[in-house]
Amino acid sequence: MTAEETLGQLQLHGWCVVENVIPAVEVEAVRASVERSAAPYAINGKRSIDIPDVLNVDQSFAPYLANEAILAPLRLLWGSHIRLRTAKGFICKPGFERGGLHADGPYIQSAPLKMDAPYQDFIAKITAVWMLTAFTPENGATLVVPGSHRAPNNRTGGLEQPVPHPSEVWATGRAGSVVLFDSRTWHGSGANESKQNRIGLVMTYFPWWLGQDPAAPTGSSERERLKKETRLSDEELGAGTAFFPAAAYAALNENVKPLLRHWVRP
């Protein structure tokens, strides 16, 4: 798809799949690296493994974060100054159960700091789910509800939604593809009914003006200032996202650095 076509899909449907962001001949090495990085987080008996702040411990996928198939449509939307924040890597094992439908922050209405509903019809953040294995209905590919980004509220704000939702669809794709969706779009993880792991990454892209202080880690100056201004506790604000280490930042490709320089600390 062209950048205009990708943006059109995001604006009309709230989501789309961009294929071959990580070339087929390279995605296996990235997947293997993420699997190795997941080992310290494995818990016996759990059907999933989450790698928090995954980019801080694994840069195997970093060169692809500034791929033009991702950034070009976002520049049409927000201009040149785009930022990125890592969320997690994940491994959903066979037997992993379906998750609920939800929107992402800043639209989570149960969060103490949020964009209050009814919110305006504007794409303020894009969630990117990177497929390091193929995503299929059998292994629990991401579920999305097309058009739900236009709703002025979501389930976290008390809006009733049937689960499964009658309009939900599977966001499927080959390994190396990325599903992009407006963070307002209702989405969730499907159940892994296959015999293989489903492996991926979650990242968020946003314009330079979208404040990220609520995501600052405990103990940071940003977090302490926010606690003072809002009178909220660390528990109420949540764990936050670890800052990106300066040494890891220095090793990044030059075209990736502008996406992350706002989150770098020594």
The per-residue b/e assignment along 141-159, b for 16 or more CB within 10 angstroms, e otherwise, is bbbbbbebbebebbbbbee
Residue 157 has pLDDT above 90, yes or no: no
Residue count (the chain): 266
User: pLDDT tens-digit profile of 58-85?
Assistant: 999 999 999 999 999 999 999 999 999 9
CB 256 within 8 A of CB 244: no
0.85 cut: is pTM over it?
Answer: yes
Contact 102, 154 (CB under 8 A): yes
On whether the CB atoms of residues 111 and 105 are closer than 8 A, the answer is yes
Alpha helices for 3-67 (secondary structure H): 3-13, 24-38
Q: How far is CA 70 from CA 93, 212, 238, in A?
A: 28, 21, 29
Cα gap 141→198, rounded to integer Å: 8
Does the domain at 3-211 match CATH 2.60.120.620? Answer given as yes
Q: Model confidence over 102-133: pLDDT tens digits?
A: 999 899 888 888 899 998 899 999 999 999 99
Which residue, chain included where needed, has tokens 């066979």?
94
Domains of the chain, by residue range, sit at 3-211
What is the model's pLDDT at position 208? 95
The model's confidence at residue 217, banded by pLDDT at 50, 70 and 90, is very high
- What is the residue whose two structure tokens read 């990235």? 30
**Composition of the chain by helix, strand, coil, percent to 5:** 30, 20, 50
Q: Measured between alpha carbons, how far is 167 from 189 in angstroms, rounded to an integer? A: 15
